[in-house]
Amino acid sequence: MPHTDSNRLILFSARQYDADTFRQANEAFGVELDFQEAHLDAQTAILARGFAAVCPFVNDSVDEAVLQKLHEGGTRLIALRSAGFNHVDLHAAKRLGITVTRVPAYSPHAVAEHAVGMILTLNRRLHRAVARTREGDFSLTGLLGFDLHGKTVGVIGTGIIGRVFGCIMAGFGMQLLCYDPGKPADDLLARGARYVELDELLANSDILSLHCPLLESTYHLIDEDALNRMKRGAMLINTGRGGLVESNALVGALKSGQLGNLGLDVYEEEGGLFFEDHSDNLLQDDTLARLLTFPNVIITAHQAFFTREALIEIAATTLGNMKAWLDGTPRNTVDAPSS
């Protein structure tokens, strides 16, 4: 095994904003930081040789082959700088004795507020209105929206983010329908939320927002069948994970009018696309290309988390997780589900 200095952390897929916030948060920790723009994969894992701790981002590959290479290089901690951990082979990590930590909550407001921003944009066609007025077109045709007040919003997953989202929507005077296999959230119940089965939520929601994790049980939760069971013309917002929605089913649902509006901050095939400038390249993903042509679709590139407050909290928690692990008291660990 190569010599590893346990106080060194290498960040993959690192951008200037990561470097800025990690350096700022690191004043309290004194970790030796290394920033790599490269994605983590089987080829780039070699860069982590000698680093006990590796910090990947959401679209990095942390599969068995990568973990094996990292382990050979001396890595013993995967310190995720995200809440989601669906991109990590937890069974392989466990077998190799690699601890995995994450940032369970940084700013639920950042993600919830982005989802609300998408709803307001789609409903009032702000994306089209702004483009029009810049061109001197001051007409209103095609920009007709609806009052949120009195309509019904379905919240799928009422954990930390879904609860904040539900509270904001209740503030608009919307009725809340919730679906979550876990315990109902008191603050949503206090705002009149009703917990119902998924079918009832799909059939009765004017707007549906996804805030559950991507698990085997939630993969393609919204597929062609679920889209058909939704209220005709409803709006779907996904700031959760791309795999929650069957992307190929979206185009048909939009063309038929069954799906009235679509806001995506995450996309099934976003790896290799999101977080980078591809404007000089031809888009190879035909589904994404088609989705981008609809006037009632907006897509953002996994930016819901992207606020100053969230970035600082992510950096501080990631570094705190690493220090706790070094002290022999790991926290915010993610364990492999028992199979």
C-beta closer to ligand NAI: residue 8 or 302: 302
User: Which residue number is nearest to ligand NAI in terms of Cβ?
Assistant: 159
Query: Would you tell me the crossing angle of helices 308-326 and 16-26 to the nearest 10 degrees?
Result: 60
Binding-site member from 48, 80, 298, 304 for ligand NAI (CB under 6 A): 304
Which residues face 318 on adjacent strands? Answer: none
Task: Tell me how many helices (H) and strands (E) the chain has.
Answer: 12, 12
Structure tokens at 31: 């970790």
Q: Is the separation of the CB atoms in 13 and 59 below 8 Å?
A: yes
Count of residues interacting with ligand NAI (CB under 6 A): 29
CB of 304 to ligand NAI, least distance (A): 4
Tally the C-alpha atoms within 13 A of residue 27's C-alpha that lie toward its C-beta: 5
**Segment lying near ligand NAI (by CB under 6 A), choices 3-11, 18-26, 174-182, 271-279:** 174-182
Q: Is 256 left (phi over 0), alpha (psi -120 to 50) or beta?
A: alpha
Residue in 87, 241, 246, 268 annotated catalytic: 241
Q: Which of residues 91-120 bind ligand NAI (CB under 6 A)?
A: 105, 111
Q: Determine the 3-state secondary structure of 51 from DSSP.
A: strand
The Cα–Cα gap between 321 and 314 comes to 10
Does the annotation count 39 as an active-site position? Answer: no
The Cα–Cα gap between 316 and 21 comes to 9
Does the annotation count 270 as an active-site position? Answer: yes
Q: What is the DSSP string of 10-57?
A: EESS--HHHHHHHHHHHTTT--EEEE--SPPSTTGGGGGTTEEEEE--
Question: Quick one: which of 191, 186, 169 has its CA closest to 113?
Answer: 169
C-beta closer to ligand NAI: residue 206 or 270: 270
Q: Is 217 in the site for ligand NAI (CB under 6 A)?
A: yes
C-beta closer to ligand NAI: residue 174 or 208: 208
CB of 271 to ligand NAI, least distance (A): 14
Q: Which of residues 18-77 bind ligand NAI (CB under 6 A)?
A: none
Count of Cβ atoms closer than 10 Å to residue 2 Cβ: 9
C-beta closer to ligand NAI: residue 240 or 260: 240
CB of 151 to ligand NAI, least distance (A): 21
Residue in 81, 163, 268, 270 annotated catalytic: 270
CB of 146 to ligand NAI, least distance (A): 25
Q: Is 88 left (phi over 0), alpha (psi -120 to 50) or beta?
A: beta
C-beta closer to ligand NAI: residue 48 or 210: 210
The Cα–Cα gap between 193 and 175 comes to 7
Binding-site member from 212, 236, 250, 311 for ligand NAI (CB under 6 A): 212
Q: Which of residues 246-275 bind ligand NAI (CB under 6 A)?
A: 265-266
What are φ and ψ of residue 205, in 5° steps? -95, 130
Q: Is the separation of the CB atoms in 73 and 50 below 8 Å?
A: yes
**Segment lying near ligand NAI (by CB under 6 A), choices 39-47, 65-73, 136-144, 157-165:** 157-165
The binding track of 229-248 with respect to ligand NAI, each residue x by CB under 6 A or -, is: ----------xxx-------
Query: Would you tell me the crossing angle of helices 108-123 and 126-134 to the nearest 10 degrees?
Result: 60
C-beta closer to ligand NAI: residue 55 or 266: 266
The Cα–Cα gap between 103 and 88 comes to 14
Q: Which of residues 278-297 bind ligand NAI (CB under 6 A)?
A: none
CB of 159 to ligand NAI, least distance (A): 2
**Segment lying near ligand NAI (by CB under 6 A), choices 40-48, 63-71, 92-100, 206-214:** 206-214
Residues making contact with ligand NAI (CB under 6 A): 83-84, 105, 111, 156-162, 179-182, 211-214, 217-218, 239-241, 265-266, 302, 304-305
